[in-house]
């Protein structure tokens, strides 16, 4: 992370505007970066300010924080991603609702892709007109427990239970997590177990299912 504070000596060094559609401009003013959109694009990334050269290490968690506000309330997308085609998003693009007073916003993520020593930060402003003010952009490494990986969010959404599976002779086959008996049946079929009847136990209750 270079020149996240937009100092008076460095101004916009390290940051560059890219436009794919719409019309926008970027300038250094009062120790901040100002992105002004005069004509919206179709996508947030149609008008974007990028810093390249980010080092994202596989398995490492990161936190990006920045201060932002806007001339009128509006959205702003920020994405930590690959700098070249296919622009793989490492953080998942996140949309923030900016107000007219400065607040600190953050993105946490764990790098699940192969290490990228030349990734980028993209500040995507193409979906609304007006001016966005950015300052104090900081990217730092954090412990995995502080990040909110997508995988754990998905696990929270799925209401999974623990099941134990026995064959018709009472022999233990496997233990698995599933959302219900049909999920157990699907998982057993996926493991290529023999066709037939199985006893599936959840806690002290059990039911017979048939795997075809
Ligand atoms: Ca500053």
Instruction: Give 80-110 pLDDT, tens digit per residue.
Output: 999 999 999 999 999 999 999 999 999 999 9
pLDDT: which is higher, 21 or 170: 21
pLDDT: which is higher, 60 or 155: 60
23 class by beta-carbon count within 10 Å (0-12 exposed, 13-18 middle, 19+ buried)? middle
Q: How far is the CA of 137 from the centre of ligand 1 (A)?
A: 9
- Laid out side by side, the sheet with 103-110 consists of 23-29, 32-39, 130-142, 61-70, 103-110
Spatial distance between the Cα atoms of 17 and 123, rounded to a whole number of angstroms:
9
- CB count, 10 Å around CB of 41? 20
Task: Residue count of the chain, please give it.
Answer: 212
pLDDT: which is higher, 139 or 168: 139
Q: How far is the CA of 1 from the centre of ligand 1 (A)?
A: 14
| Cα diameter, the chain | 78
User: Residue 23 region, left (φ>0) first, then alpha (ψ -120 to 50), else beta?
Assistant: beta
Q: How far is the CA of 132 from the centre of ligand 1 (A)?
A: 14
Q: How far is the CA of 43 from the centre of ligand 1 (A)?
A: 28
* pLDDT value of residue 123: 98
In the numeric block, which tokens belong to residue 26?
Answer: 């970027």
Q: Which of 37, 32, 5 shows the shortest CA–CA distance to 21?
A: 37
* pLDDT value of residue 159: 63
Range in 28-37, 155-164, 185-194 the model is least confident about: 155-164
Q: 133-151: b or e for each residue (b if 16 or more CB lie within 10 Å)?
A: bbbebebeeeeeeebebee
3-state DSSP assignment of residue 181: helix
Spatial distance between the Cα atoms of 37 and 126, rounded to a whole number of angstroms:
7
Q: How far is the CA of 203 from the centre of ligand 1 (A)?
A: 58
79 forms beta bridges with 122
Q: How far is the CA of 4 from the centre of ligand 1 (A)?
A: 8
Is 203's pLDDT higher than 50? yes
Q: How far is the CA of 104 from the centre of ligand 1 (A)?
A: 13
């Amino acid at each position: 992370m270079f020149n996240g504070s937009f100092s008076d000596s460095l101004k916009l060094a390290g940051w560059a505007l890219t436009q794919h559609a719409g019309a926008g401009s970027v300038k250094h003013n009062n120790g901040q970066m100002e992105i002004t959109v005069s004509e919206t694009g179709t996508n947030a990334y149609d008008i974007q300010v990028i810093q390249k050269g980010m080092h994202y290490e596989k398995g490492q968690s990161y936190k990006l924080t920045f201060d932002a506000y806007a001339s009128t309330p509006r959205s702003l997308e920020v994405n930590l991603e690959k700098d070249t085609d296919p622009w793989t998003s490492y953080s998942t693009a996140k949309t923030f609702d900016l107000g007219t007073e400065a607040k600190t916003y953050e993105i946490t993520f764990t790098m699940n892709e192969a290490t990228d020593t030349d990734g980028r930060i993209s500040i995507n402003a193409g979906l609304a007109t007006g001016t966005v003010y950015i300052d104090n952009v900081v990217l730092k490494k954090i412990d995995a427990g502080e990040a909110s990986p997508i995988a754990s969010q998905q696990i929270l959404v799925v209401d999974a239970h623990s099941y134990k599976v026995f064959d018709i002779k009472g022999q233990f086959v496997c233990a698995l997590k599933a959302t219900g008996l049909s999920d157990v049946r699907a998982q057993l079929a996926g493991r290529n177990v023999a066709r037939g009847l199985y006893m599936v136990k959840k806690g002290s209750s059990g039911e017979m299912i048939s795997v075809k």
